Chains A and B, each alone.
Chain A
Amino acid sequence: MPCTGSSAPGAVPPYPRPRPGRAPEPTARRTVHDGHHQHTLPGPVVRTEGSAPVADQAVDHAYDGLGDTFAFYLDAYGRRSVDGRGLPLDATVHYGVHYDNAFWNGRQMVFGDGDGTLFQDFTGCVEIIGHELTHGVTQYSANLDYQGQSGALNESVSDVFGSLVKQYALGQTADRADWLIGAGLLAPGVQGVALRSLKAPGTAYHDARLGTDPQPATMAGYLDTEADNGGVHLNSGIPNHAFYLAAEALGGHAWERAGQIWYDVLTGGRLPSDADFAAFATATADAARARYGPGAELRAVQAAWTTVGVGAGVGAESTAGTSDATRINAPLRPA
């Protein structure tokens, strides 16, 4: 199943959307480079902002995905690019040979073609592009340490906003979204639907070569490990599922209220870089109350964290408008 959600290949993306009577919107200032299967970055330029599609699907998918992500952050939250100040968006495609990865290197996007056995072209999934560029957003905002629970939160916000980029591009409500990261990325024959599922962590794949999706959905399954920087891609399933539960409870477009709350926490300047799950949970409850008052949004956030086993007491104290820094930052023990 091909990835979906990005602008149609070959089409000129509709972003930034024109707004009659207003000053011209900022543009993504995209530049796509061809790595020519080498490891030297960035490589020769093959497409720039506003230029026509080229005869290379990876180039055009990367271009469109960068545009979708730029448009999402601008339209949903008024954010100009990953740094909030219009940082040009650069990407290199065809990095390495059969390279099974995509990453944000602190300055630009890097995409591999996939080995065709486990993974396909990484430019094909708009939520992957949104995920990686959100690592840039995090770098310029909360700058969550990439290890342990703060690292899992770093991964989780990339999954959350990566999925929201796709939902926004497709105009989907929470109940219609697939809530998958890497839908269609798995090569033919691999048993699975994606890399991760925010709706049902631990169910994305079960394959003889790839293994079984190891993500827990709640603290009962928390993985205490030194691998993967302390399980940053593993335990991210817990905050991922909390976001899904909050968004699903609120309904409608997930980026509008649940996403706004998460965005307020990520960019609010108060979340410590070593925040753990409990600190993040409390911060989302505080953000919900600050933006929407003690209503449905706050209740949805509190219930979501309670369901995944994080932040017992967040609800009562947040509702009362108090915040105990000692409790917020206390290490959380796996259930």
Chain B
Amino acid sequence: MRIQVIRDGGVSGVERRAALDTEGRPDAPHIHALAREVLSSGTRTASFGVPDGFHYAITVDERGTVYCTEPQLTDGQRDLIGLVLAQGR
């Protein structure tokens, strides 16, 4: 499974993007569960959020893209975003 996160907005306005491939990772089942939860909980259209809040677009394989904004993130969204931005490339 390949998961891509694009973060934009924030007071800096600097975009950040990263992608994580779960193949061969020992924690792949956990990440897959997170990804499925995020796909089911996110919205399919971008929203504007609060001024200077981060906006996220999360794409999982060909299964689609969901959007979410700070500070209204679920724990699952926050965990997945944090993982991909920290360990993805």
**What residues make up the interface of A, taking CB atoms closer than 8 Å to B?**
39, 41, 100-106, 110, 119, 122, 128, 131-132, 135, 138-139, 146-147, 151, 154-155, 158, 182, 195, 210-211, 227-229, 232-234
The answer to whether A132 and B9 have CB atoms under 8 Å apart is no
A-B contacts at CB below 8 angstroms, number:
74
Nearest 6 CB-CB pairs, A to B? Answer: A233-B13, A103-B52, A135-B51, A101-B10, A228-B8, A146-B48
The answer to whether B12 and A105 have CB atoms under 8 Å apart is no
Query: Please, which residues of chain A bring their CB within 8 A of the CB of B71?
Result: 39, 41, 103, 105, 110
What residue in chain B is nearest A195 (Cβ atoms)? B12
Query: Please, which residues of chain A bring their CB within 8 A of the CB of B48?
Result: 146-147, 151, 229
Q: Interface on chain B toward A: helix, strand, loop, or mixed SS?
A: loop
Query: Please, which residues of chain B bring their CB within 8 A of the CB of A232?
Result: 13
**What residues make up the interface of B, taking CB atoms closer than 8 Å to A?**
8-15, 48-55, 70-71, 73, 78
The answer to whether A101 and B12 have CB atoms under 8 Å apart is yes
A102 CA / B70 CA spacing, docked (Å)? 11
Given contacts A39-B78, A227-B8, A228-B8, contact A103 B15 (CB under 8 A): no
Given contacts A101-B70, A110-B71, contact A233 B50 (CB under 8 A): no
The answer to whether B14 and A131 have CB atoms under 8 Å apart is no
The answer to whether B52 and A100 have CB atoms under 8 Å apart is no
The answer to whether A39 and B73 have CB atoms under 8 Å apart is yes
Given contacts A41-B71, A227-B8, contact A195 B13 (CB under 8 A): yes
Query: Please, which residues of chain A bring their CB within 8 A of the CB of B11?
Result: 101-103, 122, 128, 131-132, 182, 195
The answer to whether B50 and A182 have CB atoms under 8 Å apart is no
Contact of B10 among A39, A100, A146, A151 (CB under 8 A): A100
The smallest C-beta distance from A72 to any residue of chain B, in angstroms, reads 19
Given contacts A195-B11, A227-B15, contact A101 B54 (CB under 8 A): yes
The smallest C-beta distance from A146 to any residue of chain B, in angstroms, reads 5
Contact of B52 among A39, A101, A147, A210 (CB under 8 A): A101
What residue in chain A is nearest B13 (Cβ atoms)? A233
What residue in chain B is nearest A110 (Cβ atoms)? B71
Query: Please, which residues of chain A bring their CB within 8 A of the CB of B54?
Result: 101
A135 CA / B52 CA spacing, docked (Å)? 9
With A131-B52, A151-B48 already in contact, 6 other A-B pairs whose C-beta atoms are closer than 8 Å: A100-B10, A103-B52, A128-B11, A135-B51, A195-B13, A229-B48
A-B contact pairs, 19 of them (CB 8 A): A39-B71, A39-B78, A41-B71, A101-B10, A101-B11, A103-B70, A104-B51, A104-B52, A106-B50, A131-B52, A132-B51, A138-B51, A146-B48, A195-B12, A210-B14, A227-B15, A228-B8, A232-B13, A234-B13
The answer to whether A154 and B51 have CB atoms under 8 Å apart is yes
A210 CA / B15 CA spacing, docked (Å)? 9
The answer to whether A104 and B50 have CB atoms under 8 Å apart is yes
The smallest C-beta distance from B22 to any residue of chain A, in angstroms, reads 23
Given contacts A39-B71, A39-B78, A146-B48, contact A103 B53 (CB under 8 A): yes
What residue in chain B is nearest A41 (Cβ atoms)? B71
The smallest C-beta distance from B73 to any residue of chain A, in angstroms, reads 7
The smallest C-beta distance from B67 to any residue of chain A, in angstroms, reads 12
What residue in chain A is nearest B75 (Cβ atoms)? A39
A211 CA / B50 CA spacing, docked (Å)? 24
A119 CA / B51 CA spacing, docked (Å)? 19
